[in-house]
Amino acid sequence: MKFINLLKKELSELINAQMIFGLVISLSLFFIMGNVMQSVTDELKEDSTHPKVNICDLDDTELTKDLISSLKESCEKVNIISVQGENYAAPMNGSDIKGYVVIPKGFTESVEKGEKSELISVNKVKSASMFSSLTGGTDGTIALINSFVTSRLAEQKGLSHDDLSTLESPVTITENTVVADKSAKISVSSVLGKITMQNMLLPIIILVLIMMTSQSLIASISNEKIDKTLETLLSTPVSRGTVITAKMLAAAIVAMINAGVMMIGFSAYSKGMTSAITSDLPGDVSVSDAIGGLTSTNDAFRQLGLSLGAFDYVLVGVQLFVTIMICLALSIILGALVNDSKSAQTMLLPIMMMVMIPWFVSMFTDVNALPTVPKLIVNAIPFTHTFTAIPNLMFGNMKEFWTGFVYQLIIFAVVMFFALKLFKSDKILTMSLNFGQKSRFRKSSKTTED
Amino acid sequence: MANVLKVKELSKQYSKVLAADKVSFEIGEGEIFALIGPNGAGKTTTIRMISTLLTPTSGDAVVAGYSIKKNPEKVRENITYLPDEAGAYKQMTGIKYLRFMAGLFVSDLDRINACVDRAKNICGLGDRLNDKIGSYSRGMIRKLLLARAVMTKPKLAILDEPTSGLDVLNAIEIRKMIRKLAEEEGMSFLLSSHNMLEIEFVSDRVGIISKGHLMVTGRTDELKERYSAPNLEEVFERVVKENEVH
């Protein structure tokens, strides 16, 4: 009853109007981002399935007329553009044209002579975004013109269609990727592309979860100290263990709510980003390669043993729970050091560093492949093993997974032991960290001695 | 008169500072005892040890038959503590705060309601109890906290500077309330205050503490006679100066 009373109080402090408002805003942002990404990928799909051609014919010969007729046969819409001199920007002003190809004077002459002919590609850059260059460009048009000119040249030289095909691609490459002792017919870039997309979600959830949990508990303890309610609370007939358990449980519940909302939000975002690409898109379309070869990789993943099963997800969940417990235990100690609202903000810094370092390292490199000393340093950070859990399970590095898990359990036991010892001792009331002061006891002695 | 509190040579050492040095005194049932002393004298340390917030370096105190060292949870069932400049949870309403605090002392819903009703009558905040504590003035918070401290009818209420932040009229009201609770309900009080006038009016006995030593204890009139002083303020001055000379 007393514990429930305390837990209700802690939850009512943490789950307030601001927190719910923040969650609703975050969720809305993810849904908006998901819709935006879906519109971008829809545009990519539209461009690849129904290519539009914008072309300017300055040569104006029989060959170029045939070329444009050929483009009209294979493309839904061919837009003829006129250009004055070298003012290539003029046709794009006030129109939605993102790129066009100019056939310059002398093009036909070069083709007929069997020489390399020149085309002018004009593309408009509207923003610095990654996807802005993927839609409406001139690559598709140039590929079609190349194909037309190659056919004409082949005819001139008396080559058959089969001869031409062999000359264009004299070697057929079958890409195979090996993971541990398994192999599958898939390119490495496709495998890595899908892994990156899949694993993008969890590290961000871990990051948010750890930061939110730490902030909640540090704030909960430090507010009790700053508002001078801790002494009153600890003088009631409730054990200090019960007080701290209620605080930890409330922070964990709030963290789980945050994680749940983040997962829903990110799922909506990822769905929006991949839905158009993964549905009905031909495998050889260049746009899908740009996104990372997401299509037709599920079977290959299963063959390579990269697909995670239910037990793997249970292991990831358990490890995430241990991570939150470490974070809570650390937060008790950091919260106890706070003596004003300014230092409450500073106390989050050590945890932030312990999250950011493994996050960045695991994002750019394989922690297991680092040289011994950096590897030991990175692995000494308990949160590293949470970031490497999924890659370790995917690639069958079970020794590394279990070592990391056991290490986290040991760290939790040690930190929790010190946290409880601290909370049950006088230090929870007398200890403080005063940065930049010569004598930290002198300042606090007024309250402790009186 | 049975003793509710018996403090036996209670000491507290903070690294190089001896904050309380073998402090001993007793408080009987229905008695109001006040600890007075200059800043840094050891009042709050002594009170915090009796409230089981700090562990004594040596010595012990027995509250309602329970040792603060051996049975701190039992001690906390019999006391309430109101720290100096204590705050309350700002996001809670006054009534919710009283209900929350009562729930930490008693589990039965009827008893919780009885405690809250009692606190409502004592604090006199009326409808403002439905407002968030964040909107209260310092005086209103102090009244709420005082009501909280006595609503569970503890055997010993420990009040550090009980009237700090209150205006004259409210301070008088609180002093009268403390006296009434001691006389009519037999509640014992351990007070700490800088306000000598308040101590003279409200307490049955006082203890003058300086540099961690409890120099003298006794009834206010006895001390005035012993030190040939017209009021407690001068008794305090002479005791502190005497201590400095020796």
* SS3 of residue A424 by DSSP: helix
The encoded tokens of residue A249 equal: 């449980």
Mutate: best of B16, B104, B116, B160, partner A, most A CBs <10 A: B104
CB A233 within 8 A of CB A206: no
The encoded tokens of residue A285 equal: 């379309």
Same domain, A140 and A210: no
The encoded tokens of residue A289 equal: 């390669």
pLDDT recorded at residue A213: 86
Residue A133: pLDDT band by 50, 70, 90 thresholds?
A: low
The 10s digit of each residue's pLDDT in A354-412 is 998 988 888 888 888 888 888 899 999 999 999 888 888 888 889 999 999 999 999 99
In a domain, A437, yes or no: yes
Count of Cβ atoms closer than 10 Å to residue B240 Cβ: 18
pLDDT recorded at residue A272: 64
Same domain, A393 and A302: yes
pLDDT recorded at residue B64: 93
Same domain, A110 and A197: no
For residues B211 and B42, give the distance between their C-alpha atoms in angstroms, rounded to a whole number.
7
Count of Cβ atoms closer than 10 Å to residue B8 Cβ: 16
Nearest residue of A to residue B55, measured between CA atoms: A426
Strands A177-179 and A182-184: antiparallel
Residue A449 touches partner B, C-beta closer than 8 Å: yes
* SS3 of residue A177 by DSSP: strand
Strands B205-210 and B32-36: parallel
Cα dihedral sign, A123-A126-A129-A135: negative
Q: Looking at the predicted structure, is the pLDDT value of residue A163 above 60?
A: yes
Among the candidates A138, A172, A206, a domain finishes at: A172
Q: Looking at the predicted structure, is the pLDDT value of residue A446 above 50?
A: no
CA angle A109, A110, A113 (to 5 degrees): 85
A450 chain-B contacts, CB cut-off 8 A: 39-45
Average pLDDT of chain B, as a whole number: 90
Q: Looking at the predicted structure, is the pLDDT value of residue A294 above 50?
A: no
B97 chain-A contacts, CB cut-off 8 A: none
Residue A128: pLDDT band by 50, 70, 90 thresholds?
A: low
pLDDT recorded at residue A275: 58
Instruction: State which residues form the domain around A331.
Output: 2-37+186-449
The DSSP letter of residue B93 is B
Residue A126: pLDDT band by 50, 70, 90 thresholds?
A: low
A233 chain-B contacts, CB cut-off 8 A: 104
Nearest residue of A to residue B107, measured between CA atoms: A1
CB pairs under 8 A between A and B: 99
The 3-state secondary structure of chain A, one letter per residue: CHHHHHHHHHHHHHCCHHHHHHHHHHHHHHHHHHHHHHHHHHHHHHHHHCCEEEEEECCCCHHHHHHHHHHHHHCCEEEECCCCCCCCCHHHCCCCCCEEEEECCCHHHHHHHCCCCCCEEEECCCCCCHHHHCCCCCHHHHHHHHHHHHHHHHHHHCCCHHHHHHHHCCCCCCCCEEECCEEECCCHHHHHHHHHHHHCHHHHHHHHHHHHHHHHHHHHHHHHHHCCCHHHHHCCCCCHHHHHHHHHHHHHHHHHHHHHHHHHHHHHHHHHHHHHHHCCCCCCCHHHHHHCCCCCCHHHHHHHCCCCCHHHHHHHHHHHHHHHHHHHHHHHHHHHHCCCHHHHHHCHHHHHHHHHHHHHHHHHCCHHHCCHHHHHHHHHCCCHHHHCHHHHHHCCCHHHHHHHHHHHHHHHHHHHHHHHHHHHCCHHHHCCCCCCCCCHHHHHHHHHHC
In a domain, A181, yes or no: no
Q: Looking at the predicted structure, is the pLDDT value of residue B47 above 90?
A: yes
* Residue B233 backbone phi and psi in degrees, to 5: -60, -45
Q: Partners of A399 in the beta sheet?
A: none
For residues A388 and A195, give the distance between their C-alpha atoms in angstroms, rounded to a whole number.
13
Contact A13 B89 (CB under 8 A): yes
Average pLDDT of chain A, as a whole number: 80
The secondary structure element, H or E, covering residue B8 is strand B3-14
pLDDT recorded at residue B82: 94
pLDDT recorded at residue A287: 46
CB B118 within 8 A of CB A268: no
Same domain, A9 and A92: no
Minimum mean pLDDT range among A25-29, A46-50, A96-100, A424-428: A46-50
By C-alpha distance, which of B216, B218, B192, B203 is closest to B38? B192
User: What are the angstrom distances between the C-alpha of B168 and each of B174, B189, B192?
Assistant: 10, 21, 18
Percentage of the residues of chain B whose pLDDT score is greater than 70:
98
CATH of the domain at A156: 3.40.1710.10
By C-alpha distance, which of A312, A288, A308, A289 is closest to A298? A308
Same domain, A258 and A384: yes
Percentage of the residues of chain A whose pLDDT score is greater than 90:
16
How far is B162 from chain A, CA to nearest CA, in Å? 14
A2 chain-B contacts, CB cut-off 8 A: 103-104, 107
Same domain, A91 and A208: no
For residues B186 and B189, give the distance between their C-alpha atoms in angstroms, rounded to a whole number.
10
Same domain, A218 and A320: yes
Minimum mean pLDDT range among A205-219, A322-336, A393-407, B209-223: A205-219
Nearest residue of A to residue B15, measured between CA atoms: A441
Same domain, A64 and A8: no
B212 chain-A contacts, CB cut-off 8 A: 449
Residue B28: pLDDT band by 50, 70, 90 thresholds?
A: very high
Contact A450 B45 (CB under 8 A): yes
Same domain, A154 and A196: no
Q: Looking at the predicted structure, is the pLDDT value of residue B8 above 90?
A: yes
In a domain, A22, yes or no: yes
Minimum mean pLDDT range among A39-48, A207-216, B172-181: A39-48
Same domain, A197 and A342: yes
Q: Looking at the predicted structure, is the pLDDT value of residue B246 above 60?
A: no
Contact B81 A229 (CB under 8 A): no
pLDDT recorded at residue B133: 94
Count of Cβ atoms closer than 10 Å to residue B27 Cβ: 25
Place of tokens 């048009």: A141
Among the candidates A172, A194, A224, a domain finishes at: A172
pTM of the model: 0.74
Q: Looking at the predicted structure, is the pLDDT value of residue A239 above 70?
A: yes
Residue A89: pLDDT band by 50, 70, 90 thresholds?
A: confident
In a domain, A280, yes or no: yes
The DSSP letter of residue A117 is P
How far is A447 from chain B, CA to nearest CA, in Å? 8
* SS3 of residue A181 by DSSP: coil
* SS3 of residue B157 by DSSP: strand
How far is B208 from chain A, CA to nearest CA, in Å? 13
Residue among A16, A234, A426 minimizing CB distance to B91: A16
Residue among A229, A237, A441 minimizing CB distance to B87: A229
Mean pLDDT of B147-169: 90
Same domain, A141 and A241: no
Number of H helices, E strands in chain B: 9, 10
The encoded tokens of residue A343 equal: 């230092």
In a domain, A178, yes or no: no
* Residue B32 backbone phi and psi in degrees, to 5: -110, 115
How far is B100 from chain A, CA to nearest CA, in Å? 7
Minimum mean pLDDT range among A63-67, A122-126, A147-151, B56-60: A122-126
Mean pLDDT of A146-162: 83
Same domain, A229 and A292: yes
Residue A185: pLDDT band by 50, 70, 90 thresholds?
A: confident
In a domain, A129, yes or no: yes
Helix crossing, A310-337 with A201-226: angle to 10°?
A: 30
Residue A281: pLDDT band by 50, 70, 90 thresholds?
A: very low
A225 chain-B contacts, CB cut-off 8 A: none
How far is B204 from chain A, CA to nearest CA, in Å? 23
Single-letter amino acid code for the residue at A435 = F
Contact A425 B42 (CB under 8 A): no
By C-alpha distance, which of A231, A438, A223, A228 is closest to B45? A231
The DSSP letter of residue A236 is S
Contact B40 A447 (CB under 8 A): no
Residue A446 touches partner B, C-beta closer than 8 Å: yes
Residue among B43, B77, B89 minimizing CB distance to A450: B43
Residue among B53, B77, B212 minimizing CB distance to A234: B53
Provide the residue count of chain A: 450
In a domain, A44, yes or no: no
Nearest residue of B to residue A229, measured between CA atoms: B87
Contact A6 B104 (CB under 8 A): yes
Residue A447 touches partner B, C-beta closer than 8 Å: yes
Nearest residue of B to residue A8, measured between CA atoms: B100
Contact A237 B54 (CB under 8 A): no
Collect all residues with Cβ–Cβ distance below 8 Å to A68 and sequence separation of at least 6.
A55, A57, A78, A80
CB A164 within 8 A of CB A151: yes
Among the candidates A172, A206, A230, a domain finishes at: A172
Q: Looking at the predicted structure, is the pLDDT value of residue A332 above 80?
A: yes
Contact B87 A1 (CB under 8 A): no
Minimum mean pLDDT range among A75-89, A270-284, B76-90, B205-219: A270-284
Mutate: best of B21, B48, B106, partner A, most A CBs <10 A: B48
Contact A227 B82 (CB under 8 A): no
pLDDT recorded at residue B92: 93
How far is A131 from chain B, CA to nearest CA, in Å? 46
Single-letter amino acid code for the residue at B53 = L
Single-letter amino acid code for the residue at B232 = L
Q: Looking at the predicted structure, is the pLDDT value of residue A132 above 60?
A: no
In a domain, A108, yes or no: yes
pLDDT recorded at residue B33: 95
Split into its structural domains, chain A has a count of 2
pLDDT recorded at residue A151: 84
Q: Looking at the predicted structure, is the pLDDT value of residue A341 above 90?
A: no
For residues A46 and A214, give the distance between their C-alpha atoms in angstroms, rounded to a whole number.
45
B107 chain-A contacts, CB cut-off 8 A: 1-2
Residue A152 touches partner B, C-beta closer than 8 Å: no
Mean pLDDT of B96-110: 93
Residue A425 touches partner B, C-beta closer than 8 Å: yes
For residues A332 and A252, give the distance between their C-alpha atoms in angstroms, rounded to a whole number.
13
Q: Looking at the predicted structure, is the pLDDT value of residue A217 above 80?
A: yes
How far is A3 from chain B, CA to nearest CA, in Å? 8
Query: b/e string for B92-128 if b means 16 or more Cβ within 10 A?
Result: bbbbbbbbbbbbbbbeeeeebebbbebbbebbebeeb
How far is B141 from chain A, CA to nearest CA, in Å? 12
pLDDT recorded at residue A282: 44
